[in-house]
A and B are shown apart, each in its own frame.
Chain A
């Protein structure tokens, strides 16, 4: 179970038996479009409010994930979910219609791996046989809550990021076919005093570095043991910072492919997303949509997903507080890998 200081080792090998992703139009226009289960052509998804549209995303992703897992809804023991909205309304309201015992968590954009780690932990300990883990974000709800009204004309700096409209959900089980969750490293909250909410990448990079190093220290592994290591949403500014810090600390990141979900989900050159993607949905749709498919195809054997989250609120940054950040890492490998 516990290995080293902050890593959970899952010796009973929880399996991701089914997963699903639902995204909005901008993600459907991106390079990973073919990997998503459903692409909505409109941002409002025929709902009356942005909040309802976001809720629809996670409801549909959960529904599809259960279908893809080939189980019935009442076989699920727990649903673990979270999102960016105040009082995590998207997931809590989705849990109302899902009717499955629910654990709501908040880890900002790190929620995707936080929920996967917790779900795997429940499976590993025998507390459940099937657990659904999911998260979602919507560009317009995030703009409305954290920044300005969506149609407000303000120039965003090139360090800003574009919140992903999308939801990802996965069913984790004690047995079955699918990629295996090997271990998870729970991160510490790190704050190096960045106060600019339009530069989340730079704020979150040290948290990612701390968790990645802790993961290697705890497991005795090194970057070369992974075919791919991705950070959640550091994007064009934060990702090079993280890489440089890791290399500076002597971690041989050049032994592996070190990517970022925020840079994968959009065509950063063509689409107007500034530094890249962000949000809970970012690492969720890239991991559950794209990366797991590559593992199943045999292109990747073992990956490490390090979802990064900025734990700020609109109130805290207006009061001039710096941005505390967190990162959670989960190692996923092919069955028998």
Chain B
């Protein structure tokens, strides 16, 4: 709590200000002050903000533009689904044109999707797609590739080792860490339930 300013103190500070105006004075200040005094006759004193931080936060919340959850879900589903369909098409091409087995075709399929994502990132298109598609562009393998490629591009100016090398996993790193941790716990759950390890 700030100590309340007493009337005496307020008066004192007022006279100090006046004194200062007079000493720096010249005729200009005097004239200005006079002009000002006639312009706004009643000296107002607007009160301080009376809202508590809690009240303000909930008030600010009501002023936020609405964000359509349903619309975003639909867009994410459409775009994410389209990426999966594209992946399936690529896989079929590998199977039928190159005579691969379905299992053998999955690795080159993922590599192709990553390549497409990296090219789109380098052309400056992927971030614009993501603004529309939301989670649809973040979840599939293309989103992971984008996170690494964009970080590598951004930090190229700091050199290959300390820039690209050190920053490439800046965003993707946490996916790998938590992916590994999650796999560890899922593995333990399988062990306990006796469902894993074919």
Contact = CB atoms under 8 A, between A and B. Distances in A.
Nearest to A203: B60
B46 A240 contact: no
11 contacts: A9-B21, A150-B150, A151-B153, A154-B127, A192-B56, A192-B57, A194-B60, A220-B37, A220-B40, A245-B49, A251-B46
B46 A221 contact: no
Contacts of B64: 158-159, 199, 202, 237
B150 A193 contact: no
A251 B53 CA distance: 21
Interface in B80-97: none
Given A4-B17, A154-B130, A202-B63, A11 B49 contact: no
Interface stretch (B24-32, B173-181, B187-195): B24-32
A267 to B, nearest CB: 17
Interface stretch (A168-176, A206-214, A257-265, A291-299): A206-214
Interface residues of B, number: 57
B29 A152 contact: no
B57 A194 contact: yes
B151 A149 contact: yes
Given A220-B43, A225-B40, A151 B17 contact: no
A155 B134 contact: yes
B131 interface: yes
Given A158-B67, A206-B56, A222 B44 contact: yes
B109 interface: no
Contact of B24 (A5, A11, A13, A50): A11
Interface of B: 13, 17, 20-21, 24, 26, 28-29, 32, 36-37, 39-40, 43-49, 51, 53-54, 56-57, 59-60, 63-65, 67, 72, 121-122, 124, 126-127, 129-131, 133-135, 137-138, 143, 146-147, 149-151, 153-155, 157, 170-171
Contacts of B26: 11
Nearest to A11: B29
A191 to B, nearest CB: 8
Which one of A11, A51, A150, A213 has the highest number of Cβ atoms from chain B below 10 Å of its Cβ?
A11
A159 B65 contact: yes
Interface of A: 1-5, 9, 11-13, 48-51, 144, 148-159, 191-194, 199, 202, 205-206, 209-210, 213, 216-217, 219-222, 225, 236-237, 240-241, 244-245, 249-251, 272, 275
B53 A192 contact: yes
A151 B121 contact: yes
Contact of B146 (A5, A144, A152, A191): A152
B56 A48 contact: no
Contacts of B129: 153
Contacts of B65: 158-159, 236-237, 275
Contacts of A202: 60, 63-64
Q: Which of A155, A216, A221 has the most CB of B within 10 A?
A: A155
Contacts of B60: 194, 199, 202, 205, 237, 241
Given A151-B153, A153-B138, A222 B40 contact: yes
Contacts of A251: 46
Contact of B67 (A1, A157, A275): A157
Contacts of A151: 121-122, 124, 126-127, 146, 149-150, 153-154
Contacts of B21: 1, 3, 9
Contacts of A148: 150, 171
A99 to B, nearest CB: 26
Given A3-B21, A193-B53, A206-B56, A9 B32 contact: yes
Contacts of A245: 49, 51
Given A151-B127, A217-B45, A225 B171 contact: no
* CB-CB nearest 8 A-B residue pairs: A153-B130, A149-B154, A49-B157, A193-B53, A151-B150, A149-B150, A202-B60, A152-B150
Nearest to A210: B49
Contacts of B24: 1, 11
Nearest to A159: B64
B63 A152 contact: no
A236 B60 CA distance: 12
A213 B46 contact: yes
A27 to B, nearest CB: 18
A11 B154 contact: no
Contacts of A236: 65
A248 B56 CA distance: 13
B49 A209 contact: yes
A193 B127 contact: no
Nearest to A209: B49
